[in-house]
Amino acid sequence: MRLSRYYLPILKENPKEAEIVSHRLMLRTGMIRQQSQGIYSWLPLGKRVLDKVNRIIREEQDRSGAIELLMPTLQSAELWQESGRYDAYGKEMLRIKDRQDRPMLYGPTNEEMITDIFRSTVKSYKSLPLNLYHIQLKFRDEIRPRFGTMRSREFLMKDAYSFDLTREGAEHSYNKMFTAYLRTFARMGLRAIPMRADTGPIGGNLSHEFIILADTGESEVFCHRDFVNFDIPAEDTDFDDVGGLKKIFDQWTSVYAATSEMHDEAAFDAIPEGERLSARGIEVGHIFYFGTKYSEAMGAKVQGPDGKEHIVHMGSYGIGPTRLVPAIIEASHDENGIIWPASVAPFDVVVINMKAGDEACDKACEEIYAALTRAGKDVLYDDTDDRAGQKFATADLIGVPTQIIVGPRSIAQGEVEVKDRKTGARDTMTVEAAINRVNG
């Protein structure tokens, strides 16, 4: 991508409305734009990051055996009257009427709709276990939308829904998502701690929130400091291995970790004083086992091996991609801007032409740009005629992991500088070596 032809509306000044660093940086780098309170557009730079986050989520959901579909944002009120949540959901639900005066709503979640799909299409236990997910916009009319897309009214959610014949089967489905979540967040460079959590309006009694420790987080959490030492499940984890996944679950849940609603003072006090951690955190995922709450109310049942009808056991599993992006920034930035983990960076590398118009600089930049693009890298080429100092500031601000700096003096020697955004380390090398470094 040539910066001269790209759309990157960088702000020079710090936006006044932004209270936390991720919100400030997302606005300054032109990743997002507020359209009305708690409702955002994702501009091209932000969209690139969001797509990479979603890709990791998809890969890990698919690996665990979940299957993707797409449900609509607008739902009919009837479904929610069946489950009893139409009235219970209160003011957070945005209610709409269509031209025939039929009550509709902008979905805050999809338990009812997926249960409706299930009951009208699945008849036998032989189709189970089944886990269906989508990545779709949701709307919750939050009292206090704030911190940009961290807590917005319209937001993206990956929501998965599992169906099993028995409670034991449903527990394995829960462990599959638990394991997939540990991998998903780790791949984004995050350490998300699973904590016992309250189930709120979703219901049920088994639930974990995945929380990233951060001072600006909205959740108050209590945990054992040992979470840094735990293993992340491997890519080749066998998701059909019931005992293996139970072991992963047991390891992670053997150490005390709870949100404030589920906090057990006595259990926390039992931890030696120097090992206790009471902190703040950002909830990036939340999983629930709620058994037959919706399947019972809405008549979702299958014929079992015994020939009788069985109400299915369900769980639901959410991740907030539009919250994850600012959470990653909260966890990874410095005074100059964002430091993207490679897996979610909007570009892999930025090529900075310090003197656009200079024949040797232009030629070297074009060569590097073409070679890296051919190799499948996402390359941003700063070919604008801005001052070099401004180009460096922009590159640091938008946080691309590697910068290749091409200037007239060094290119006369056939050399360029390669800078690592995270460490700040700079190395001088030949054009070929720079290309190999990024491809390596």
- Contact residues toward ligand P5A (CB under 6 A) are 109, 140, 142, 151-152, 155, 157, 159, 202, 283-286, 288, 316-320, 322-323
Residue number, 22 or 152, with CB nearest to ligand P5A = 152
Residue number, 25 or 202, with CB nearest to ligand P5A = 202
Residue number, 147 or 256, with CB nearest to ligand P5A = 147
Residue number, 207 or 332, with CB nearest to ligand P5A = 207
For the CB of residue 30, give the shortest distance to ligand P5A in the complex, in Å. 20
For the CB of residue 288, give the shortest distance to ligand P5A in the complex, in Å. 6
Residue number, 38 or 169, with CB nearest to ligand P5A = 38
For the CB of residue 155, give the shortest distance to ligand P5A in the complex, in Å. 4
Q: Which residue has the tokens 């070596």?
A: 433
Residue number, 259 or 384, with CB nearest to ligand P5A = 259
Residue number, 133 or 249, with CB nearest to ligand P5A = 133
Q: How far apart are CA 29 and CA 43, in angstroms?
A: 10
Half-sphere exposure for 401 (CA within 13 Å, toward CB): 15
Residue number, 84 or 244, with CB nearest to ligand P5A = 84
For the CB of residue 241, give the shortest distance to ligand P5A in the complex, in Å. 25
For the CB of residue 286, give the shortest distance to ligand P5A in the complex, in Å. 3
Phi and psi at 367, nearest 5°, equal -65, -45
For the CB of residue 79, give the shortest distance to ligand P5A in the complex, in Å. 14
Residue number, 321 or 399, with CB nearest to ligand P5A = 321
Determine the residue with CB nearest ligand P5A: 320
For the CB of residue 333, give the shortest distance to ligand P5A in the complex, in Å. 20
For the CB of residue 334, give the shortest distance to ligand P5A in the complex, in Å. 25
For the CB of residue 235, give the shortest distance to ligand P5A in the complex, in Å. 24
